[in-house]
Amino acid sequence: MKFAALRAVLGLVQVSAHWHWIAWRGSEKLGSPGPGWLKLDTAPKFRNLSWEVEGIPNAYRYYHPNATSYTLGSPANGRKTIELWQPFEEDSYDGAVGANLRAALQILYGDDLERYFVNLTSTDWETVGSYPICQAKQPCPNVVLLGTTQVASRVSAERALPLNDYFQEFLETHLARFQDDFPSISSYQYQFKGDWIAAPFITDTRLLGFNRTTLEAMGLDLPPPHNQNRSTELEWTWSRLAEIACQISRSYGDGKGIVMTSDWDEDFKLFMSMVHSAGGALYKKSPESRTCDLNTGADAVEDFWKPIFQNNCVSGGDGGSYWSGVSPPSEAFNRTLRGTPSEADLMSLSKYVTTAQDLDTIGFFLSTGVNEDTSLKACKTTSRNNSGSDSSVVAGCATIVFDRRGGRSLSSCKQLMHDVLADTVAHDGEGTCAVLSCKSIWQLERSQSLRSLKHLQFYSELCSDILYADFPGFFSFLGGAGLMVPKPVSSSCTDVEECSRREEGWRIIEELRNSSSPWMLQANTMKAARLPPPLPLTLIKDFPASVLSALERAIPPQYPNNPRPEMDRIEREKPMRLALVRAIYGNASTEEALGEASEIVNDILSPCNASDWLSDPSCAYAPDGLQGCPEGHFFELQDLDMVCQPCPVGKFDPSRSVTRACKNCSRGTYSSVRGSTECTACGPGMIASEEGQRYCSYCPVGSVPKAGAECYDCPADFYEDAGSCLPCSPGFQSGTRSSTRAACSRKPEVGFLILGLIAEVTTLVLVLPILFRRSVPIADMHVDCERVVLKTWARHRVSRWSPLPVKVYLRDTGDTRLDNPKVPFRVRVRHAEELWLLDESNNHISIDFNTSMGSLQLSMASTFFGASTHFLPIGLQVILLLVAIVWTAITLASWHEATEELLGVLVIGLSGSPLAAIMYACTWRSRFQSTPIARRLTHFREKLRDQNPAPTSCERGPARAVSAAQISDLLCYFEDFIRQRNMYYVGSNILLPLTRPERLSYAELAGPHSVQWFVSHFWGMAFKDFVASLRHLADDIGNLDRKNVTFWVCSLSNNQWKVQSELGEGDPLKSSFYLALQSPSCKGTAMVLDASAEPLTRSWCLFEVFQTCLITSSGSREDFSGLLLCTPQGVLQHGGASLDAVMGVAEQLSKISLQDATATRLKDKEMIDSCVLALPGGFRSVNVFVRDCIKEALETVHQSFEGDYTNLVQALDRALPSVPVSPVLLGQACGPPVTKRRSTPSSLELPMPKRGSTPFFSDAV
């Protein structure tokens, strides 16, 4: 007893000397622990500290309900003040937070109160989040404990110190990262742009609890995760929760279904959890704006909020209405329904009542944590029915502690359970205590039956009627509070005192987060509604699985967007509360109410409106809370946030504003620091010669200050004489600050001007030919995407930006439609060497013009305004050159003293201009001889000259045939030019230029042969397909000598320079066509058909078919094979063509009408028509005759197909084995017979040019 008394006295002395906390209410002293102080309900569960003395109150386990601050020590001079702000109330509900903060501060500073004075301020949430700190005449605490949504406001106000350096120091000291013990979500809540701003200390989430006895009595499934052993799976949604809550209310009374509280912003937190679960967010961000869209929460309003309120299924924590002022309706409530509430009106609807969490809870409830009074209950000794349990669970609970020594009370036993993170205790009422960890009710019942524990009373969370369910919709709310070190706007230590304040702040954070200290654990788990501390979930053990699940799936209201400082304003203005009240009680639809709330959030999140910056809250400067940027700053928008940047050196801004740029310091003034509000005038003898100077400078030697803002020197080309600046003679120069006339020397510009005059005259001589319509050679003209493209063999010099339409004249293209000297075409630039051909209306021409020769000339006006070199119009160049020549000549004349010695150079240079013009003309003329097709024609003529050294004229008709090899050589040599072009192109661009020197036919030039086959064809067919058709015929009839098969082709066999003679001077029966066809050596006619059988619509072709049929029907020539129909795929009669080609011929056959046939030249058609009319029966007889003749040819094709088919069937019959085959299997294996045709080489079929293309000469020739 003496020793115990001595210990008590010593402890009392120690407490009075070291742990003497004093409570204050403002400036009123409330005293140290004793009268007026209350003991925390959870104090017995706190860890015992070494300095505590039993029976003596202390600030660790006691609190004063009226205290606003607590101090330790006295604020004597020379002592450092340690200050910590925390927002949790001093009451039985949250008092554990302040108690543990006081204990931690005692541990840190209680033994050194000669150096420190400690002040713990228990304030409110608004103060820790928005009260001015760390600025003039305002406090700057070492640490502030503030909510997660408030951290962004402090960061925006530049009042939060980044902790990265301290984290790195911790890593280097402990070889472990300080943030490794943070929950994963902490990087979102407390990290901004890579900087850690705070360390988590308090966890805040919402739990959904329920009375399982009620649900089981009503036969309702328990919600997840407690329904995992049920036979049916429960779809757990907000709609389902509302349905069950309303069933409970109908059975037990209004408001009994679910109990919730609406204090501050609980409705907002709950609603945002529903929005997140629906895949939505508070706002969506784009580069231009932040847009709120709460429509994803519309289903939650319809399925949860409306049903539980309109059916009286919900009540507040006091058993009354959820919101205050609902019944009877207050004026604030009525204004809210009308959509015109003030911020105070919406605030007044909050009901600050802790949610009921006792044994009388009937249905569901929303809780801020787990209440031990409802979760740790005495267990009945009788076993529950475990028919639904897992039969594999047969072992009992794990025994953590079994103390048989006695003397331990039930509360001490429960405290031991909390210390070791277990969930069950067993006590006999006499001091025996067992602490167990049970995973299920079945394990607990097994342990109750053990002999060693059978006489003990069990207390377990598993025996409680109150359980916690998973949040519907997956996501729950997550908030919390973190420890932040404030700072002034300057981010660096300005003095030793400031550095020390920051170091002490970090020291406090490190102690409060120390895993070996109980402060953080007890501050979270020893509140009335306890939650796990902010640690990784893998380190949390003593909580139901549903609680851990809620934490795992909890996210902040503005997630996934970055934390915003505007969240504090959103929480104050409560747009979601307005929407819910109007949607539930008012006449607004859900969509309208949510739309109104979205508009409010949009207004809060909108960037600063510079035109209304004095009243727009978004234009407030966070560090001082005033509108606009402070003096010496300019305004910027960075990521939609207003950022005030200090004025650069040389600039200033004298007033608050949102200007985008600071003003330049005027001449004669300067600014050498950033953020200046005014500029400083330069000192005597110094100048600032330009605006925006960062410093002043002295005038150099020999210079005179002028007007105090600049130094005046004698300029270049002047020299000083008797205090004045005199000019040098014309053509002479001097440097600045020259002192004598001898400093003047001849200007280099004199020589440059002489050279310039020579270059200007020479350039003018070279440009004038372009102005006077210089011809440009044409390399190619073709249709591309239904537009005629003209490609030149030199830069055409047409400008893209001509003010007038550019007109050109075409010459020597070989197409009479193009070579019209009186009708110009308009053009538009496609490329430096390509033009689009346009009509008079500036529309693209789509006619199939094809040529690879000729030239174009621009009209004079088009050259003047529309041609350019080096991006300058020719006319402008000529004008500029003339002006330059005149100006240069006048200048040189005025500088006659300086130019006398260089006149010889000028004369020699100007005499070279005509020579340059002659050389340029010769070079340009050679362009026409070097176009791609001109070079190719020269090479091909040389090749023909080697094969036929002395080409001579021969009789027209059958003696002018060409071989298959000669035709193939022509195509092969010019294939890259011909491409898919027709005979019109070949004749005008290849055949005529080849035969021009000798004025012979191509057959005579290449070496003529006697005709074997007369060829009838349409010139509009692609020449490549034409040659392919003749190759197939040569392959079929030529055997081994197919290259020497000869053809009489009008374009190759007729002399294109004597067309009228070749046509028989108007008599078809004297034409070269007729003579060749009637020749005894002619074995037949090969009609070359395209896909549409176009030759059957042409007068000359039908005339030739008619003559062929006459020879065939006469029977006078036994070796005459008649008419063969040839296609690019093969000869129809030989089975070498496709069925489509045969059908095309048949279709045209049904429409053959010689009187309706066409010819390129009207005279040719009239000549043939007159010849036909002279025959007996006229057109009718000839049409029938020709139709029958071609029909016989088609019949031959049909027989050929039939023969091929018969041979194929016979071959198949011979190949089949003589083994009986099951009819069923044979039917499955074989399909219908397939006719095998002779394979033909594939060819690329391109769209054919249109009929009616303008010819260079008759398609008959």
pLDDT at 1009 exceeding the cut of 80: yes
pLDDT for 1248 equals 33
pLDDT digits (tens, 9 = 90+) for 914-966: 777 777 777 777 766 778 888 899 999 999 999 999 999 999 889 999 999 99
Share of the chain above pLDDT 90, in %: 33
Q: How far is CA 397 from the centre of its chain?
A: 57
Q: In angstroms, rounded to a whole number, what is the distance separating the alpha carbons of residues 79 and 85?
A: 19
pLDDT at 350 exceeding the cut of 80: yes
pLDDT for 354 equals 59
Q: How far is CA 694 from the centre of its chain?
A: 42
Q: What are phi and psi of 664, to 5 degrees?
A: -75, 145
pLDDT at 734 exceeding the cut of 90: no
Q: In angstroms, rounded to a whole number, what is the distance separating the alpha carbons of residues 668 and 432?
A: 93
Q: Which of 164, 168, 167 is nearest to 193 (CA)?
A: 164
Q: How far is CA 464 from CA 212, 373, 424, 721, in A?
A: 9, 9, 11, 111
pTM equals: 0.56
pLDDT at 768 exceeding the cut of 50: yes
pLDDT at 772 exceeding the cut of 80: no
More confident residue, 68 or 430: 68
pLDDT for 20 equals 83
pLDDT for 1260 equals 37
pLDDT digits (tens, 9 = 90+) for 1118-1163: 888 888 888 888 888 777 666 666 776 777 666 767 677 787 777 7
Residues whose CB is less than 8 angstroms from the CB of residue 477 and which lie 6 or more positions away in sequence, other chains included: 204, 205, 206, 269, 270, 272, 273, 554, 555, 556, 557
Q: What are phi and psi of 524, to 5 degrees?
A: -95, -40
Residues whose CB is less than 8 angstroms from the CB of residue 1207 and which lie 6 or more positions away in sequence, other chains included: none
pLDDT at 359 exceeding the cut of 50: no
pLDDT digits (tens, 9 = 90+) for 868-886: 777 778 778 788 888 888 8
pLDDT at 1250 exceeding the cut of 80: no
Looking at residues 1049-1053, what average pLDDT do you find? 92
CA quadruple 1149, 1154, 1157, 1160: dihedral sign: positive
pLDDT for 784 equals 87
**Tokens linked to 1254:** 């303008």
Helix then strand then coil, in percent of the chain rounded to 5, is 40, 20, 40
pLDDT at 1234 exceeding the cut of 60: no
**Tokens linked to 1074:** 């007729």
Minimum mean pLDDT range among 856-860, 1178-1182, 1219-1223: 1219-1223
Q: How confident is the model at residue 1249 (pLDDT cuts 50, 70, 90)?
A: very low
pLDDT for 927 equals 67
Residues whose CB is less than 8 angstroms from the CB of residue 390 and which lie 6 or more positions away in sequence, other chains included: 229, 440, 442
More confident residue, 696 or 143: 143
Instruction: Tell whether omega for the bond before 648 is within 30 degrees of 0, i.e. cis.
Output: no
Task: Count CA atoms closer than 13 A to 557's CA, side-chain side.
Answer: 26
Our CA angle for 133, 138, 142, nearest 5°, is: 55
- Asked if 935 contacts 769 with a C-beta cutoff of 8 angstroms, the reply is no
pLDDT for 1210 equals 73
Q: What are phi and psi of 379, to 5 degrees?
A: -95, 145
Q: What is the mean pLDDT of the chain?
A: 82
Q: Which of 539, 527, 529, 521 is nearest to 206 (CA)?
A: 529
- Asked if 197 contacts 509 with a C-beta cutoff of 8 angstroms, the reply is no
More confident residue, 1032 or 1212: 1032
pLDDT for 928 equals 66
Residue 962 identity (one-letter amino acid): V
Q: How confident is the model at residue 483 (pLDDT cuts 50, 70, 90)?
A: very high
pLDDT for 1068 equals 81
Q: How confident is the model at residue 71 (pLDDT cuts 50, 70, 90)?
A: very high
pLDDT at 800 exceeding the cut of 60: yes
Q: How far is CA 489 from CA 355, 436, 690, 886, 923, in A?
A: 41, 54, 33, 68, 76
pLDDT at 1245 exceeding the cut of 90: no
Looking at residues 767-787, what average pLDDT do you find? 83
More confident residue, 824 or 3: 824
pLDDT at 745 exceeding the cut of 80: yes
Q: In angstroms, rounded to a whole number, what is the distance separating the alpha carbons of residues 139 and 767?
A: 82
Looking at residues 881-900, what average pLDDT do you find? 82
Residue 1206 identity (one-letter amino acid): T
Our CA angle for 277, 278, 280, nearest 5°, is: 100
Look at the block and give the residue holding tokens 């386990």.
61
Q: How confident is the model at residue 421 (pLDDT cuts 50, 70, 90)?
A: low
pLDDT for 317 equals 82
Q: Which of 535, 594, 643 is nearest to 201 (CA)?
A: 535
Residues in the chain: 1261
pLDDT for 157 equals 87
pLDDT digits (tens, 9 = 90+) for 200-225: 999 999 999 999 889 989 988 888 88
Q: How far is CA 1238 from CA 896, 1124, 1129, 1201, 1234, in A?
A: 93, 17, 10, 10, 13
